[in-house]
Amino acid sequence: MDFPTLHTERLILRAFTQADAPALFAIHSDAQAMQWFGSDPVVDQLGADALLAFFINLPHMAAPGMRWAIERRDDARLIGSCGVFKWNKSWRSCSLGYELAHPAWGHGYMREALESVIGWALEGMQLNRIEALVHPRNTPSLRVLENLGFAREGQLRQGGYWLEQYHDLVQLGLLKHEFIQPQPKLTLA
């Protein structure tokens, strides 16, 4: 499967390249931006390079996925990433993951990116189910997913471990027929 480039009103979602390493390091070394990501912040460029290699090689792994670099159209700035992983082709399911640079929070970028990625994944990967795990105190992330049609399915007690402590995680799931597609914008003549 070729890696698709997705376009939204304000964003370009594209494959990662080696040139993204410094921006990825800036995002993943920011403790505030990574507080809910599910792993410790990277501490050096070597760690960011390993993460970049993982994102680039994700489509070729045993449980494959796709991870898009999120770039703003107006300034070509990398502001985060999102994608699907743990693709179980026979079950037609996968998991969803994403992160956004702290300065880009609160502008609706992640919802815009996820609408595009989820729409593509449901059709292009022939999925019926997408799962997500979110920290219960990450209310903006929970709100974005619920607004896209994800339903809370339960809580994984101490389901994650990062920053030297265990974290509970909310399990959410989206079925293909539940996906809330964005409404087209109407303009008056």
Rounded to whole angstroms, the Cα distance separating 8 from 6 reads 7
Model confidence at 188, pLDDT cuts 50, 70, 90, reads low
Assign residue 128 the CATH number of its domain: 3.40.630.30
In a domain, 62, yes or no: yes
What letter would DSSP give residue 105? Answer: T
Segment 117-130, tens digit of pLDDT = 999 999 999 999 99
Give the pLDDT score at 52: 94
Q: Is the pLDDT of residue 170 over 60?
A: yes
Residue 168 falls within a domain, yes or no?
no
Residue 80 near residue 104 (C-beta atoms within 8 A): yes
pTM of the model: 0.91
Domain span at 116: 6-132
Q: What is the pLDDT of residue 184?
A: 57
**HSE toward the beta carbon, residue 39, CA cutoff 13 A:** 12
- Is 162 contained in some domain? no
CA-CA-CA-CA dihedral for 172, 142, 34, 60, to nearest 10: 40
Which residues, 6+ apart, have CB-to-CB distance to 162 below 8 Å? 37, 38, 39, 40
The tens digit of pLDDT for each residue in 50-77 reads 999 999 999 998 888 999 999 999 999 9
Which letter does DSSP use for residue 9 in this model? Answer: S
79 belongs to a structural domain:
yes
